[in-house]
Amino acid sequence: MVEVLHRYATVRGQRVFYREAGAHEAPTLVLLHGFPSSSRMFRNLIPELADRFHVIAPDHLGFGNSDAPSVDAFTYTFDALTDITEALLAQLGIARYALYVQDYGAPVGWRLALRTPDAITAVITQSGNAYEDGFVPEFWKPVRAYWENPGPQTEPGVRSALSLDAIRWQYLHGVDRPELVDPDTWAADHRDVNRPGNDLVQLALFRDYAGNPPLYPQVQAYFRERQVPLLAVWGDGDEIFGPDGARAFTRDLPDAEIHLVPGGGHFLLESHLDTVAGHVRAFLTTTGSPA
């Protein structure tokens, strides 16, 4: 039985929760979660990888078991979330690692790669975009409206993403066997993002997400220059970041490995864990990464 440790670290005055498993001398794999989840989304994947890798999966501030300071006490931006993650990895003595990113984890991961490109040995992306391709218009229309004109007219369109129905939809849409998805997932996420004051945290991050697509040209230039090994494993039914977002990586990384998993949605690990774990293990073995 693989031991998964549940730890806290104080990073820049904030208490950050992270899951850790595997031998410290093994190559490190850093897992970065998406909205509205936490490192909880990796709870079943971590034991599948910890026999060969040292796995670290933190909760971003405002999510899961990490601190969720008010918007008056902390400026919530993706730059700031990256600062915390970077500082945590430094405290843990992690200088080289492979990245696994999903959703919100992608803009944090891309910033880490741009800041310290030599640190990144490989990238696995699960519904983590680095291109405009694949943004499903129906989902993103109210978000883009909020970017362009944040205020009382556009806020209801994004605030609705914090509702139980919307979070349940994130887990179940596009999934061919929804009975495999544990209802505790959306119940826990709904509870966490609706803690007192956390709605304002999430609205701040919705607004700041507008700064992520303009960063994509720099990320794409990083891909072209570094030719970092990359695996995109994506649910083919994802209606947030569609399959074109996965295919786009081959534009700058011709050797990128792309897998579109039939019957999978946005939270692919909930319904297709074995498939994803198999692809990840094979990819990291083939590339020799992390190293």
Catalytic residue annotation? 266
Q: Following DSSP, what letter does each residue of 143-206 receive, concatenated? A: HHHHHHS-STTTHHHHHGGGSHHHHHHHHHTT-S-GGGS-HHHHHHHHHHHTSTTHHHHHHHHH
Instruction: Tell how strand 4-11 and strand 230-235 pair up.
Output: unpaired
For 274, the token pair is 């074995």
Q: Which amino acid is at 52?
A: R
- For helices 78-91 and 105-115, the axis angle rounded to 10 degrees is 60
Let me know: does 237 contact 175? Beta carbons within 8 Å: yes
> Residue 259 in contact with residue 233, Cβ under 8 Å?
yes
Supply 10's token pair. Answer: 């104080």
Longest CA–CA span in the chain (Å) reads 53
Q: Count the residues in the chain.
A: 291
User: CA-CA distance, 4 to 21, in Å (whole number)?
Assistant: 5
Residue 86 DSSP one-character state: H
Residue type, 271: S
Identify the helix (H) or strand (E) that includes residue 271.
Answer: none
Do strands 97-102 and 54-58 pair parallel, antiparallel, or not at all (unpaired)?
Answer: unpaired
